[in-house]
């Protein structure tokens, strides 16, 4: 292990967890990742291995059968997993966000019902805000839950569900129009139970087939169609309607730390591949690493990986301390995703023509890195969040 992405001040437990995860990545993920990715095959055996390691319950409290670890530990684990194959970290991320929403916003009954089974991976989570015509404007959602005599009835179409097929519990943001003047107080998060798979997975719930993507393969990304899905009011996250937007934004905030960590993992792997290839490939009678142009490129790549890692660690530690980290999470996500793409492209250039071949791992990373620019909000959205917060803090 090189000197990059090391983290000071970790506990013995954190160090041991990261050691085990890194060993798992080296042995079980990296050797098969590119083949599975090219086949767009779900990593069933890898997921089962992560269950055995307790990763699905990493942040779930011990009282519910989890490991009770911090957001920092989770972010560092995600870096390691994404270094092996980013899609696997996606399998974990949406599950983690649903567990986080339950831990911080769920009723006692909801926590008791779902968290123990989520800790073991028996219940698998996904969450859904986006819709086909929505983009980044969450306030414009049109999927609606209408009150009935015995609960609610949901109708509408959701988009871009990671784990849409493999999940059995989906946190879904919908409009409820409870009469408040603010559009943000007329949204509610429902906990929708369904069967794993595709087609009609619950009464009034259809999961069409997987969306074919440029990268981020293996993991199932889907739509979710509601046609009069009947659901009890007990399935409202927290038991009270109108809180959904604020709950989801809290989840997305920690999700941005996750995406930042994923980007660091990809960038770190791209750096490793680039610096190794630069020492093996020779031109003009010497390894290309000895040419100044390549040496400068490697220096810039390493610096960007280290910078992104430090920002992700800071954002995670702030959240763990109970402080607001919207600005820091936005900065970490923006910098990590942009640097990830720059580091991957630099490594791709170092590989030359071989980087364009599917036999080389950098080809996969090149396609995967693009998704980091979009997940949990684009860089432009992060800039809006960061800029507005800074204006408020530095208001004259």
Residue numbers annotated as active site: 376
Q: Tell me the C-alpha distance between 147 and 129, whole Å.
A: 20
Instruction: List the one residue out of 378, 316, 281 whose CA is nearest residue 75.
Output: 316
Residue 49 has a CB neighbour count (10 Å cut-off) of 16
Instruction: List the one residue out of 222, 224, 235, 230 whose CA is nearest residue 107.
Output: 235
**b vs e for 280-317, b when ≥16 Cβ sit within 10 Å of the residue's Cβ?**
eeeeeeeebbeeeebeebbeebbebbbebbebbbbbbb
CA 236 to chain CA mean position, Å: 23
Backbone angles phi, psi at 252, to 5 degrees: -65, -35
Determine contact, residues 339/305, Cβ cutoff 8 Å.
yes
Cα dist. 345→133, 296, 351 in Å?
31, 14, 10
């Amino acid at each position: 292990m090189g000197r990059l992405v090391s983290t000071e001040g970790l506990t013995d437990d954190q160090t041991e967890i990261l050691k085990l995860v890194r060993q798992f990545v080296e042995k079980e993920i990296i050797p098969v990742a590119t083949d599975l990715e090219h086949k767009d095959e779900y990593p069933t055996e890898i997921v089962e291995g992560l269950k055995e390691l307790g990763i699905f319950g990493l942040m779930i409290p011990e009282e519910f059968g989890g490991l009770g670890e911090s957001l920092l530990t989770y972010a560092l684990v995600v870096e390691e997993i994404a270094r092996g194959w980013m899609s696997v970290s996606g399998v974990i991320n949406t599950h983690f966000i649903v567990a986080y929403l339950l831990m911080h916003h769920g009723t006692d009954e909801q926590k008791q019902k779902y968290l123990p089974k989520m800790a073991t991976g028996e219940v698998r989570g996904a969450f859904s805000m986006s819709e086909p015509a929505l983009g980044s404007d969450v306030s414009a959602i049109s999927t609606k839950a209408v009150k009935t005599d015995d609960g609610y009835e949901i109708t509408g179409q959701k988009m871009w569900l990671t784990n849409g097929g493999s999940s059995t519990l989906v946190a879904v943001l919908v409009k409820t129009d409870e009469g408040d003047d603010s559009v943000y107080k007329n949204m509610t998060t429902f906990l929708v139970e369904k069967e794993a798979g595709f087609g009609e997975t619950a009464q009034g719930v259809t999961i069409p087939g997987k969306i074919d993507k440029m990268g981020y393969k293996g993991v199932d990304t889907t739509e979710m169609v509601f046609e009069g899905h009947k659901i009890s009011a007990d399935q409202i996250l927290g038991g009270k309607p109108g809180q959904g937007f604020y709950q989801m934004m809290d989840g997305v905030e920690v999700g941005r730390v996750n995406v930042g960590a994923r980007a660091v993992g990809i960038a770190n792997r791209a750096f490793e591949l680039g610096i190794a290839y630069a020492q093996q490939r020779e031109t003009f009678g010497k390894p290309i690493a000895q040419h100044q142009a390549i040496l400068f490129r490697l220096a810039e790549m390493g610096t960007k990986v280290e910078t992104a890692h430090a920002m992700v660690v800071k954002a995670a530690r702030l959240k763990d301390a109970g402080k607001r980290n919207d600005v820091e999470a936005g900065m970490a996500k923006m910098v990590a995703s942009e640097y990830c793409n720059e580091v991957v492209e630099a490594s791709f250039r170092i590989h030359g023509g071989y980087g364009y071949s599917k036999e080389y791992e950098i080809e996969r990373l090149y396609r995967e890195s693009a998704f980091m620019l979009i997940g949990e909000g684009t860089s432009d959205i992060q800039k809006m969040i960061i800029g507005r917060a800074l204006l408020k803090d530095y208001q004259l």
